[in-house]
Amino acid sequence: VSPNTPTAADIWDAGWSRAGAGVAGSAIRELLKLTEQPEFISFAGGLPAPECFPAEEITLASERVLASSASRVLQYGPTEGFPPLRELLASLSARRAIPVTPEDVLVTSGSQQALDILGKLLIDSGSPVLVEQPTYVGALQAFRPYGPRFIPVAMDVAGLIPEALESALAGLARTGARAAFLYSVATFQNPTGVTLSAERRGAILDIAERYDLRIVEDDPYGELRYDGAPAPHLAALDAARHGRPRHVVYLSTFSKLLAPGLRVGWAVGPASLLRKMALIKQGLDLHTGTLSQAIAHESCRDGLLDRQIPRIRQIYGARRDAMLRALERHAPEGVRWTRPEGGMFLWLTLPEGADAARTLARAVERKVAFVPGQAFHADGAGANTLRLNFSYAPPASIEDGVQRLCEALAEG
């Protein structure tokens, strides 16, 4: 081997695409990997509590589908999804006041996959994409390889601010540009836990109609309400006005209601969009796992979700309460936090000038973890914010972990 022989790294690093050159690990990602050890109390992940997995029902469902139809559930299946599951998801959508036929349901490999598909279909390099500020980091990660120009839209405790949205759209219109879409986690948002108020939902649809705005409504947590009154989904309001979804494509998942390890999510929305999404999905993974889809269908078809949802609400509601109580008890002066009515996360704002990434290093010494808020900001703001997950750790650990976290916060 001559000294000029290229290494594997030379050969591969010489030619990444723009998207490939842009993707890189992060110090925080590496730090958070450390915190997956059992002695850590982690508020970092977005993990459901395994106590909530309906393991027995899933085991029975798996036995039943393999006993009755192994040659079907182990075989390749249609890209659009396992037909009985698409029927079940159309009914479930109807219960969420989103009237669609089974033909308008696309099963996806988690709702994460729908984000990638929508990015591919709707974003070109430089396309304006409106996102809540802050927003789900996984959406930023899914969209970023397509080269969007993110336009963060301000939120407050009642969610996305309609005036801020309208002003962003008007600004684009003045330059002759058009937004690819608005991405919104309207209910129990990841990362803030904030829910868009019912009144604002109407206002946002009014704006959508004025600007022909396309909306991606990502709803993984909507069923996980611990108090307060439910607000209608954006897709439901849209369908109520037009008979069926027109401006809104609605994404959801079994990850928080059954088990994320199945990787079964879905999208419903306008037919022309759903058709394109299926054609794109075929190139991505041919279809979502047939066995997983059959298990999801078989477990849910006799009403498992009606038993699961109250159970999860009770367990997570108690954990949210435990976290709020612990914060009230231990949080240092100047730290503020959201009080979510549901979901899995709450959001801390530290005093101006604080650096949550540095706090994380101190928290890790105390064997407690969270995610610093900057990664959730499309524009790199939010250094003084952080996200806490309350669904995974049991209440006693929550009290203990928040106390340790607050010690780290109090140190500066």
Residues 122-161 that bind its own copies (CB under 8 A): 122-124, 127, 138, 141-142, 144-146
Selected from 41, 73, 312, 360, the binder of its own copies by CB under 8 A is 73
Residue among 67 and 229 whose Cβ is closer to its own copies: 67
Residue 46, both tokens? 């977005």
Residue among 118 and 346 whose Cβ is closer to its own copies: 118
CA 166, 167, 173, 179 torsion-angle sign: negative
Selected from 245, 340, 343, 373, the binder of its own copies by CB under 8 A is 245
The least CB distance from residue 29 to its own copies, in Å, is: 9
CB 215 within 8 A of CB 247: yes
Per DSSP, helices labelled H in 175-302 are 198-211, 234-242, 271-285, 290-300
Question: Which residues have CB under 8 Å from 205's CB, separation 6+?
Answer: 234, 237, 238, 241, 247
Q: Is 190 in the site for its own copies (CB under 8 A)?
A: no
CB 157 within 8 A of CB 346: no
CB 370 within 8 A of CB 386: yes
Task: Name residues contacting its own copies, limited to 311-370 (CB under 8 A).
Answer: none
The least CB distance from residue 66 to its own copies, in Å, is: 4
The least CB distance from residue 353 to its own copies, in Å, is: 31
Selected from 271, 307, 339, 365, the binder of its own copies by CB under 8 A is 271
Selected from 102, 193, 220, 260, the binder of its own copies by CB under 8 A is 260
**Distance (Å) of CA 174 to CA 167, 180, 205:** 11, 16, 21
Selected from 28, 87, 101, 121, the binder of its own copies by CB under 8 A is 121
- Tokens 């890209």 sit at which residue? 79
**Residue 72 backbone dihedrals phi, psi, to 5 degrees:** -90, -45
Q: Is 95 in the site for its own copies (CB under 8 A)?
A: no
d(CA 216, CA 186): 10
**Residue 314 backbone dihedrals phi, psi, to 5 degrees:** -65, -45
Selected from 105, 129, 273, 346, the binder of its own copies by CB under 8 A is 273
The least CB distance from residue 333 to its own copies, in Å, is: 36
Q: Is 77 in the site for its own copies (CB under 8 A)?
A: yes
Q: Is 180 in the site for its own copies (CB under 8 A)?
A: yes
Task: Name residues contacting its own copies, limited to 46-65 (CB under 8 A).
Answer: 46-48, 50-51, 53, 55, 58-59, 62-63
**Distance (Å) of CA 75 to CA 58, 89, 177:** 20, 21, 45
Residue among 141 and 197 whose Cβ is closer to its own copies: 141
Residue among 147 and 202 whose Cβ is closer to its own copies: 147
3-state secondary structure of 103: helix
Q: Is 285 in the site for its own copies (CB under 8 A)?
A: yes
Residue among 163 and 212 whose Cβ is closer to its own copies: 212
Residue among 43 and 337 whose Cβ is closer to its own copies: 43
Per DSSP, helices labelled H in 151-197 are 162-174
The DSSP bridge partners found for residue 217 are 184, 250
d(CA 56, CA 53): 9
Per DSSP, helices labelled H in 264-394 are 271-285, 290-300, 304-330, 356-365
Could you please report the per-residue DSSP string of 344-408? SEEEEEPPTT--HHHHHHHHHHTTEE-EEGGGG-TTS--TTEEEEE-SSS-HHHHHHHHHHHHHH
Selected from 4, 39, 76, 175, the binder of its own copies by CB under 8 A is 76
d(CA 146, CA 142): 8
Residue among 138 and 230 whose Cβ is closer to its own copies: 138
d(CA 380, CA 97): 36
The least CB distance from residue 376 to its own copies, in Å, is: 15
Residue among 25 and 353 whose Cβ is closer to its own copies: 25
Selected from 225, 233, 263, 387, the binder of its own copies by CB under 8 A is 263
The least CB distance from residue 403 to its own copies, in Å, is: 26
The least CB distance from residue 59 to its own copies, in Å, is: 4
The least CB distance from residue 173 to its own copies, in Å, is: 14
Task: Name residues contacting its own copies, limited to 6-25 (CB under 8 A).
Answer: 6-20, 23-25
The DSSP bridge partners found for residue 133 are 154
